[in-house]
Amino acid sequence: MSARIVLQQADISRALTRIAHEILESNRGAGDLILLGIPTRGVYLAARLAALLEEFSGQEVPVGSLDITMYRDDLGRIPTRSPQPTSIPAGGIDGKTVVLADDVLYSGRTIRAALDALGDIGRPRAVRLATLVDRGHRELPIRPDFVGKNLPSSKSERINVELVEIDGEDRVTIGESL
């Protein structure tokens, strides 16, 4: 089975625009917001969301990245991963609303690792989760606050997010795992 496209560039742009508006509405503006992307594609999604938040609110929203590699509970079962840099905006996260950005929410284990990593950095006032795709199959009681697309899938399927910054184009595909 070949992969089929479920989101194209325009769909991704619309989803991120909607998420940005939802973040502003739920936070009552851009004050005390920090966006942290989870490498790899979450970092680029966080940067895009920060730009949209600034465009809509007129306020700059700090953006950074949060590497969760060493906090994962599956390090012994997955291929070796190279840690990515963690970049926390000046002023830290204490007392702020941190919005974690990731490309696909699946089991919830990546987000659990991100919450552990955040705890070692500081104490945010609140943590929210923005994800481009929620595919279901949660193994932990974690749910996103902001979702671009709910995409129910079978465990045998693979969701692939491609972003122009890395892959040369924006699209989301679904196909059978190898």
Count structural domains, the chain.
Answer: 1
Q: What average pLDDT does the chain have?
A: 94
Flag whether 25 is in a domain: yes
Give the global pTM: 0.94
Rounded to whole angstroms, what are the CA distances from 121 to 67, 141, 171?
Answer: 12, 23, 33
By the 8 A CB rule, do 17 and 9 touch? no
By the 8 A CB rule, do 137 and 152 touch? no
CATH of the domain at 119: 3.40.50.2020
For residue 89, give its domain range.
10-74+84-155
Could you report the per-residue pLDDT of 5-54, keeping only the tens digit for each?
999 999 999 999 999 999 999 999 999 999 999 999 999 999 999 999 99
- Does residue 176 or residue 78 have the better pLDDT? 176
Flag whether 168 is in a domain: no
Could you report the per-residue pLDDT of 62-85, keeping only the tens digit for each?
999 999 998 987 766 766 667 778
Flag whether 33 is in a domain: yes
Flag whether 98 is in a domain: yes
Residue whose C-alpha is closest to residue 84's, from 113, 61, 106: 113
Share of the chain above pLDDT 90, in %: 87
Flag whether 68 is in a domain: yes
Flag whether 166 is in a domain: no
Flag whether 2 is in a domain: no
Q: What is the DSSP string of 125-172?
A: SEEEEEEEEE----SSS---SEEEEE----TTEEEEEE-HHHHSS-EE
Flag whether 172 is in a domain: no
- Whole-angstrom distance, CA of residue 101 vs CA of residue 98: 10
pLDDT at 100 over 90: yes
